[in-house]
Amino acid sequence: MEFFRKLFGGRAAPITETVTTAPLTDQQIQSILYSKNVQFDLQQLVAASGQSVGKQRELNEDSLFALTTTLAGNSGSLPLGLYIIADGMGGHQYGEVASNAAIRTVAGHIMRKFQPYLFSLKPTPPEESLQEIMQAAVKEAQKTIQNEAPSSGTTLTAALVLGQQVTIAHVGDSRAYNIYSEGRIEVITRDHSLVKRLEELGHISADEAENYPHRNVLYRALGQGEILEPDIFTVAFPQTGYLMLCSDGLWGVVAEQDMHRMIKDAPTLQRACQNLVEAANAAGGPDNISVIIAQLIG
Amino acid sequence: MGSVYRARDLHFPNVVKLVAVKEMVNTAPDPLVRKTIVQNFEREANILATLNHSAIPRIYDYFSESDRSYLVLEYIHGKDLEAVISDTGGFLPEEQVLTWGILLCDVLSFLHNHKPDPIIFRDMKPSNVMVDHNGEIKLVDFGIAKTFQSGQKGTMIGTEGYSPPEQYRGEATPVADLYALGATLHHALSRRDPRMEPPFSFAERPLRKINPAVSAEVEAVVSKALEYNPEDRFSSASDMKDALLAAAHKTGILSKVSTTSISKGNGIKPLWTFKCEDEIRGTPLNYKNTIYIGCYDNNLYAINAADGKFLWKYPTEGGIVSKPSAYEDNIYFGSEDNRMYVVSARSGKVVWTYFTDGPVRSSVRIAEGHIFVGSDDQYLHAVNLNTGRLAWKFETSDPVRSTPFVANELVYVGNEMGDFLAIDFRGNLKWRFRAKRAITSSPTTSGHMIIFSSLDSTLYALDHRNGFIIWRFRLGKGSISSPYVSDDMVFVGAADGFIYAVEARTAKEVWRFRTEHQVSSSPVVYKDSLYCGSVDGYLYCLEYRTGRLRWKFGTEGQIVGSPLVYDDIVYVGSTDHQVYALLA
């Protein structure tokens, strides 16, 4: 050792005190994040998700799918994301069979449509519209559920993000929210539940709706009925905000303003999801909880 | 999931005895699910076996074979009521529907008075009613009768649209069946499928508004059956039957008078008219209280907007079919003589002209210091607004008659081959989309979408940044009418004679309005009215949220250009050579 020290210029012996290394704390991460104010010159789509069986159920009947990627092409690349939440109906047995089938079929159908664009260069966009692709995916899922678990049902809320547009397919009472950075939080789906319909018709007030005994009864669900009319629409991605999908295990127990605060205060999307799930469990966790949050940065 | 087969009973070899064999394939991979399904099937068999009524099919046998279960039932020659409704061109005769209603009350009454326990059918709807070749009806599919369990989370049995509110809550009573019967009659009389509408929304679709031939009496009976609160409905099937009978009795003597007739409308007097030498196919422009409009007599006319007095005309050497544009006291327009003209708005003197190599039928778009215009020479031209010199031109390989649209630093335009192009300000192609036939209409935007119609009978909405199709809306025929966006609704005309209103977010049709001939004119919304011309010669004024006709004004020729509304006055040209100014 002495020999080498001499050879390379006689430096002092290294400090041998023990230095403990540890992962950065949340505060540290937060301060780094805020000091840097994450910016990309190209838009980046990022997403995180969280799930819990809840405190009062033994079985998870929710299913979740989240995929984030980039569609690379010659004239630039586009953010592509597919986010799905399905909540199997507990009153029917095999809710989890239905929600699983829904996720698999819908995601499979949509990803097959995008496969030619993801892995090879196609000069022309698909001939089908995004809304038609979503419609066909839901129809296929309806068939699959009727085959694999007849008379069972599930909710389905699927969001296809392409560029700055979000195309939503929705059945049941899971929800999609636009959450804006200034604090506005907006439900962009319409619950297909009896209680919501009664509220729309003015038969009960919003307050009565909160305590309505049949809050969970749906009038439209995937797998039920022969004709299924999913809500399909396209909206702009909330720039400088978040897109959130969740099952009623979250929105039924955590107030909107609390959701907004938790997302805004969390250092990362992943932590935001975790905090939301924990809040739902802290409020009793009466149902399965699923949440996905996506953000378009840049 | 299952099929129904027509089969022959071979126990009777000497006669042809037909039976219906209902097959249910048990595809569920989960053994517990499979068991439930078989139990449901057997329950249906057991219910049917105990019932003896002429409107209920008789059951002969049931059995299971590996993963399939079968019911052997009486064969019914005929088709179900849903097929009858959809196969009938117009509305079904009221008497016919009334007769079925009375028969269905009969059979429901039989089920509800069943001993020891009443049977609730729970799934009354047109597809569960068979109409046989004698016009008799049979109630089929007892698959869910009596299987209702209340109170469970998410329970939903029955058919959305036909089921009453309480059934979603798990309460099934005889009165619930009467609601569904009311919904069935409503569907049969109105041809409006309740599964396509929000639940419990019948009150928003009064029968007589949709089908004026329905009598007030029958409408009252159907409405009562569809009351939201069970206690407001008929208390029993026999009460409802009595009400239907009473209505039938009354209407038998009532002579039916159609009450709807729309005034022919030409009580409307134009504020002024202005006569040119030839057909007007272009669209007027209002600039500083003057109306500028091109004509097939080769002239561009300047007319006083207030009184219709002639101010000046500028002669070109070809017809003018486009809409002029104004910028800093100059008027810009193209002519079929291959040129684009710039003339002084005040004097009508030419400032400069620009030559293309084909007729100019596209209107001029002025943006970002440039003039963008298409020509039949297959180019999109970008011309410097001040110098009149070409900045660049983009070859599209087919005539460009669509008017370019400028937004998001891109120029959007269609051509006659069906190409739709997004070109940046340097003249480079950003993206391209291809429709199946010509895009003559001019694009417009809504949010992040660029919207246009094509002769391939489609209204397209593309992502303005990359050309991905967000939605397509099917029109009855091709369209050259340019869509108009207002309040999240898209309005467009088509060659099938309809004016369509479509929701911009969902591509759902809100309403459609039929004119008597093709609609090439582009709709315009002003305040709460929509104005649009038709080749049938009329200018239509519709309530834009509902498509209800407010008034129409007839001209002597066709209206192919678009109306202009300014300061509560509608201006429109017609092929009868005249420009009309009407009070909006």
Burial zone of B121 (CB within 10 Å; 0-12 exposed, 13-18 middle, 19+ buried): buried
For helices B94-112 and B174-190, what crossing angle results, to 10°?
170
Minimal Cβ distance to A216: which of B154, B200, B432 = B154
Q: Which one of B25, B125, B141, B155 would you mutate to disrupt binding with A, by most A Cβ within 10 Å of its Cβ?
A: B155
Question: Which residues 6+ apart lie within 8 Å of A259 measured at CB?
Answer: A177, A179, A185, A244, A250, A251, A276
Per-residue pLDDT tens for B565-576? Answer: 988 899 999 999
Nearest residue in A to B473, CA atom: A129
With respect to residue A76, please indicate whether it lies within any of the assigned structural domains.
Answer: yes
Does position B70 have pLDDT exceeding 50, yes or no?
yes
Backbone φ, ψ for residue B224 (5° rounding)? -65, -40
Q: Which one of A217, A228, A232 would you mutate to disrupt binding with B, by most B Cβ within 10 Å of its Cβ?
A: A217
Distances in Å between the Cα of A174 and the Cα atoms of A200, A205, B29, B335 are: 18, 21, 26, 57
Sheet with A165-171: strands ordered across: A62-73, A76-87, A156-162, A165-171, A231-236
* Predicted pLDDT at B151: 35
Lookup: tokens for B476:
């009855």
Question: Which range marks the domain in which residue A273 is found?
Answer: 40-297
* Predicted pLDDT at B264: 39
Lookup: tokens for B271:
């504020």
**Interface contact B461-A151, CB threshold 8 A:** no
Residues of B in contact with A134 (CB under 8 A): none
Strand ranges for B75-222 from DSSP E: 78-80, 129-132, 137-139
A211: domain CATH number is: 3.60.40.10
Q: Rounded to whole angstroms, how far apart are CA atoms B21 and B77?
A: 14
Fold designation for B2-74:
Phosphorylase Kinase; domain 1 (3.30.200)
* Predicted pLDDT at B63: 85
Confidence of residue B159 (pLDDT cuts 50, 70, 90): low
Does position B564 have pLDDT exceeding 80, yes or no?
yes
Residue type, A153: G
CATH 1.10.510.10 maps onto chain B at 79-253
**Interface contact B469-A125, CB threshold 8 A:** yes
Q: Rounded to whole angstroms, how far apart are CA atoms B41 and B57?
A: 16
With respect to residue A12, please indicate whether it lies within any of the assigned structural domains.
Answer: no
Per-residue pLDDT tens for A83-128? Answer: 999 999 865 567 888 999 999 999 999 999 998 888 887 767 788 9
Residues of A in contact with B200 (CB under 8 A): 197, 201
* Predicted pLDDT at B511: 87
With respect to residue A140, please indicate whether it lies within any of the assigned structural domains.
Answer: yes
Residues of A in contact with B27 (CB under 8 A): 147-148, 150
Q: Rounded to whole angstroms, how far apart are CA atoms A108 and A113?
A: 9
Are A106 and A158 a contacting pair, CB within 8 Å?
yes
Distances in Å between the Cα of B534 and the Cα atoms of A17, B484, B515, B538, B576 are: 90, 16, 7, 6, 13
Question: Which residues 6+ apart lie within 8 Å of A19 measured at CB?
Answer: none
Q: What angle do CA B313, B319, B321 make, to 5 degrees?
A: 95
Minimal Cβ distance to B505: which of A163, A220, A235 = A235
Return the SS3 of B64.
strand
* Predicted pLDDT at B255: 31
Nearest residue in A to B33, CA atom: A149
Residue type, B93: P
Strand ranges for B387-480 from DSSP E: 390-395, 405-407, 410-414, 419-424, 429-434, 444-446, 449-454, 458-463, 469-474
Return the SS3 of B184.
helix
CA atoms within 13 A on the CB side of A236: 11
Minimal Cβ distance to B198: which of A127, A167, A197 = A197
Residues of B in contact with A145 (CB under 8 A): none
Are B467 and B422 a contacting pair, CB within 8 Å?
yes
Confidence of residue B54 (pLDDT cuts 50, 70, 90): confident
Average pLDDT value for residue range B135-142:
83
How far away is chain A from the Cα of B80, in angstroms, using its nearest Cα?
Answer: 15
Per-residue pLDDT tens for B449-464? Answer: 999 999 999 999 999 9
**Interface contact A220-B160, CB threshold 8 A:** yes
* Predicted pLDDT at B26: 78
Percent of chain B with pLDDT over 90: 55
Lowest-pLDDT range of A22-36, A154-168, A274-288, B162-176? A22-36
Q: What angle do CA A10, A14, A20 make, to 5 degrees?
A: 165
How far away is chain A from the Cα of B50, in angstroms, using its nearest Cα?
Answer: 25
Average pLDDT value for residue range B101-116:
88
Distances in Å between the Cα of B558 and the Cα atoms of A104, A244, B255, B571, B576 are: 55, 52, 39, 15, 7
Q: Which one of A61, A62, A92 would you mutate to disrupt binding with B, by most B Cβ within 10 Å of its Cβ?
A: A92
Q: Which one of A43, A57, A75, A296 would you mutate to disrupt binding with B, by most B Cβ within 10 Å of its Cβ?
A: A75
Are B158 and B164 a contacting pair, CB within 8 Å?
no
Q: Rounded to whole angstroms, how far apart are CA atoms B118 and B305?
A: 75
Minimal Cβ distance to B156: which of A90, A221, A234 = A221
ipTM: 0.76
Q: Please report the number of interchain residue pairs, chain A to chain B, with beta-carbon separation below 8 angstroms.
A: 152
* Predicted pLDDT at B158: 59
Confidence of residue A271 (pLDDT cuts 50, 70, 90): very high
CATH 3.30.200.20 maps onto chain B at 2-74
Are B120 and B175 a contacting pair, CB within 8 Å?
no
Q: Rounded to whole angstroms, how far apart are CA atoms A60 and A42?
A: 38
Distances in Å between the Cα of B451 and the Cα atoms of B84, B422, B522 are: 38, 13, 13
* Predicted pLDDT at B33: 72
Burial zone of B331 (CB within 10 Å; 0-12 exposed, 13-18 middle, 19+ buried): buried
Chain Cα centroid distance, residue B565: 25
Minimal Cβ distance to A163: which of B195, B432, B463 = B463
Count the Cβ atoms, other than its own, within 10 Å of residue B264: 9
* Predicted pLDDT at B261: 31
Does position A38 have pLDDT exceeding 80, yes or no?
no
* Predicted pLDDT at A1: 54
Minimal Cβ distance to A149: which of B28, B168, B433 = B28
Nearest residue in A to B193, CA atom: A227
Per-residue pLDDT tens for B10-24? Answer: 887 777 888 888 888
Does position A35 have pLDDT exceeding 50, yes or no?
no
* Nearest alpha-carbon partner for B419 in B388, B443, B448: B443
**pTM strictly above 0.90:** no
Residues of A in contact with B154 (CB under 8 A): 89-92, 95, 153, 216-218, 221
Residues of A in contact with B156 (CB under 8 A): 89, 91, 153, 217-219, 221, 224
Higher confidence at residue B42 or residue B385? B385
Are A169 and A192 a contacting pair, CB within 8 Å?
no
Lookup: tokens for B227:
């009351």
Confidence of residue A207 (pLDDT cuts 50, 70, 90): confident
Higher confidence at residue B205 or residue B489? B489
The CATH class for the domain spanning B79-253 reads mainly alpha
How far away is chain B from the Cα of A57, in angstroms, using its nearest Cα?
Answer: 13
How far away is chain B from the Cα of A109, in angstroms, using its nearest Cα?
Answer: 17
Distances in Å between the Cα of B124 and the Cα atoms of A94, A212, B121, B237, B517 are: 27, 28, 7, 13, 41
Does position A39 have pLDDT exceeding 80, yes or no?
no
Lowest-pLDDT range of A63-67, A191-195, A226-230, B145-149? B145-149
* Predicted pLDDT at A30: 64
Average pLDDT value for residue range B108-125:
85
* Predicted pLDDT at B152: 38
Confidence of residue A165 (pLDDT cuts 50, 70, 90): very high
With respect to residue A65, please indicate whether it lies within any of the assigned structural domains.
Answer: yes
With respect to residue A24, please indicate whether it lies within any of the assigned structural domains.
Answer: no
Nearest residue in A to B461, CA atom: A129
Does position B371 have pLDDT exceeding 80, yes or no?
yes
Per-residue pLDDT tens for B221-264? Answer: 999 999 988 899 999 999 999 898 888 777 662 333 222 233 33
Are B354 and B346 a contacting pair, CB within 8 Å?
no
* Nearest alpha-carbon partner for A83 in A68, A99, A95, A98: A68
For helices A95-119 and A130-148, what crossing angle results, to 10°?
140
The neighbouring-strand residues paired with A82 are A67, A160
Nearest residue in A to B25, CA atom: A147
Lookup: tokens for B453:
């119609």
Residues of B in contact with A127 (CB under 8 A): 469
Residues of A in contact with B431 (CB under 8 A): 75
Number of folded domains that form chain A: 1
* Predicted pLDDT at A135: 95
* Nearest alpha-carbon partner for B35 in B67, B57, B9, B10: B67
Q: Which long-range contacts (CB under 8 A, 24 or more apart) does A180-184 make?
A: A180/A238, A180/A240, A180/A241, A181/A240, A181/A241, A181/A264, A183/A260, A183/A264
**Interface contact B30-A194, CB threshold 8 A:** no
CA atoms within 13 A on the CB side of A11: 5
**Interface contact B36-A151, CB threshold 8 A:** yes
With respect to residue A182, please indicate whether it lies within any of the assigned structural domains.
Answer: yes
Return the SS3 of B150.
coil
* Nearest alpha-carbon partner for A98 in A194, A171, A182: A171
Going by the DSSP 8-state scheme, the letter that residue B550 receives in this structure is E
Average pLDDT value for residue range B366-391:
93
A23-27, A81-85, B154-158, B199-203, range with greatest mean pLDDT: A81-85
* Predicted pLDDT at B157: 54
**Interface contact A229-B195, CB threshold 8 A:** yes
Lookup: tokens for B489:
């609704």
Q: Rounded to whole angstroms, how far apart are CA atoms A120 and A127?
A: 17
Minimal Cβ distance to B37: which of A150, A231, A232 = A150
Lowest-pLDDT range of A39-43, A49-53, B10-14, B482-486? A39-43
Average pLDDT value for residue range B101-123:
86
